[in-house]
Structure 1
Amino acid sequence: MTDRILLDAAIAAADLARSVILPFFRTGVRADVKGDESPVTIADRNAEQAMRALLRERLPDCGVLGEEFGLDRPEARLRWVLDPIDGTRAFLTGRPTFGTLIGLLDDGVPVLGIIDQPATGERWIGLAGQPTRFETPLGGRAGTRLCPALADAELSCTDPAMMTGDAASRFAALQNATRRTSWGGDCYAYGLLALGQIDVIAERTMKIWDWTAIVPVVEGAGGRVTDWNGRALRPDSDGTVLAVGDPGLAAPAAGLLGGPLGSPR
């Protein structure tokens, strides 16, 4: 199966999800609460079902794992990983920082990723071994920025509530070492890192559908994505994510964050 076939399918799925999601944006759509206390809407469910149907029709031999409807074809080496609305809280409150995430794993390794922002029309497309492509009506170009010192870095995290217990003190150490911290953003923050607007993102409790798509996007723009110990993200990773625009920041950031959570430093 060629990269072109896979990429065309991913782009078609992103187009379809955008067409499903946009009619619900800023309409006061109701949210249900899932077992993990996170919200879900009809837009999440309809978009994932539409993408699954498209990918199943185009590439029936691939597996599909989605946040809302689980795993099909678990034996497949190639597996699509879908998050129809990453940032449902932002979506519910009318903020254009949510996004659709479409990733592809090849034997557990992220090889293709799309971050799509339906409301702004922005889209990041990452394919392993190729430069990230950025499509936008707003301006900007893909490419992380040089930032050799943590002291000059812009740090971002979606939600301070992620940082509890031992993780809170480790994140605070990273905050103290960087220039300033911004909150919020979900997957959109990783897109901004891929544009050179943010230098470091540190998060935890991340599921596989939260990070699969961002790895090819960030790394294709010149950055690096690992867990807090500097290890490549894989399906059995521990839920921590560290993304840096300048790869030189990876080691000092991981030095402040790393080690088994819950253990003494």
Structure 2
Amino acid sequence: MSATASRPMLDPATRDALQRCAHELADAARAAILPHFRSAALDTENKASAGFDPVTVADRAAERAMRDVLVRLRPDDAILGEEYGAQAGSSGLTWVLDPIDGTRAFMSGTPTWGVLIAVVTDGGPVYGLIDQPYMGERFEGGFGVAQLTAPRGISPLSTRPVGGLDQAIVFSTFPEIGTAGERAAFERVSTAARLTRYGMDCYAYGLLALGQIDLVIEAGLQSYDICAPIAVIEAAGGVVTNWQGGPAHNGGQVLAAANPAIHAEALALLAERGA
């Protein structure tokens, strides 16, 4: 498990209602997004004052659709979404939504983007979905569930017990990672690993939970980028922390690992020379 505070127990009826709601949110997001994917007329804007941080009509439509579901099914819960910000609630639960994680991939026509949906308490995520609408894959974790629902059926999620870092496959979205110091720290892990790949966005976290890869290392994340992956990976037996071994659900630097042993190896290399 990741280094988070104690997470309150939820009764079975509440857990069931939250799961049903999460799947309805994912279904609503799929319906809003897919008409825009690989569209020659995709409406895209740059949110950044410097650099490039794209948002599309599909991002906004998907978050609006999910918020509409929450107004109907969970009106007392808080919401934190990438496109429309925070909305207060009174239940002690927050839905953390990223309507399209990997907008650059989406606008490029590659299917490695996804919809991220998490249920979060003060102690961190307790349940999450990583949904890939175009491929019809839904990674689910929390409340005793760890499974992938895909066109070929339902299969369990389980991280793999790789022998060591020298046998590991490492993923990160951007080769530059973050600052020069963060890049140097990442390179120490990458050099020690068997294989490093880039550019998979949230899909890399799904692959980790599925037992296909061993590490995902990122920096500069927001809560909505990582809360759902934490829930899915933990449910599958993995470990998610920041680069100091602490909680990662508030974003920033993130180290997701298939098992405690490889997490410890990577964490030690990231920490060298005060990275």
Please point out which of 27, 35, 39 is paired with 1:15.
27
Residue of structure 2 in register with 1:151 after alignment: 166
Q: Give the SS at the match of 2:205.
A: helix
Q: Is the 8 A contact 1:230 1:250 kept in 2?
A: no
Q: Is the 8 A contact 1:158 1:185 kept in 2?
A: yes
Is 134-143 or 93-102 further displaced after alignment?
134-143
Q: Give the SS at the match of 1:2.
A: helix
Q: Is the 8 A contact 1:163 1:171 kept in 2?
A: no
Identify unmatched segments of 5+ residues in structure 1: none
Shift of 1:81: 0.4
Residue of structure 2 in register with 1:256 after alignment: 269
Residue of structure 2 in register with 1:86 after alignment: 101
Matched residue count? 259
Is 98-107 or 154-163 further displaced after alignment?
154-163
- Normalising by structure 1, we get a TM-score of 0.93
Q: Percent identity?
A: 44
Residue of structure 2 in register with 1:66 after alignment: 81
Is 101-110 or 182-191 further displaced after alignment?
101-110
1:1-265 equivalences in 2 (<5 Å): 2-28=14-40, 29-35=42-48, 37-73=52-88, 76-128=91-143, 130-138=144-152, 141-235=156-250, 239-258=252-271, 264=274
Q: Give a deviation string over 1:159-203, Cα, whole Å, max 9, x none.
A: 113233111110110011110101111000100111111101100
Q: Is the 8 A contact 1:63 1:79 kept in 2?
A: yes
C-alpha distance in structure 1 between counterparts of 2:178 and 2:254, whole Å: 12
Q: CA RMSD in A?
A: 1.7
Shift of 1:76: 4.9
Aligned residue type for 1:248: A
Shift of 1:264: 4.5
C-alpha distance in structure 1 between counterparts of 2:177 and 2:167, whole Å: 24
Q: Is the 8 A contact 1:101 1:114 kept in 2?
A: yes
Is 160-169 or 134-143 further displaced after alignment?
134-143
C-alpha distance in structure 2 between counterparts of 1:162 and 1:211, whole Å: 15
- Normalising by structure 2, we get a TM-score of 0.90
C-alpha distance in structure 2 between counterparts of 1:181 and 1:92, whole Å: 24
Aligned residue type for 1:34: K
Q: Give the SS at the match of 2:25.
A: helix
Shift of 1:108: 4.3
Q: Give a deviation string over 1:5-37, Cα, whole Å, max 9, x none.
A: 011000000001001100101002121000363
Q: Is the 8 A contact 2:230 2:249 kept in 1?
A: no
C-alpha distance in structure 1 between counterparts of 2:89 and 2:248, whole Å: 19
Distance 1:57 1:201, change over 3 A: same
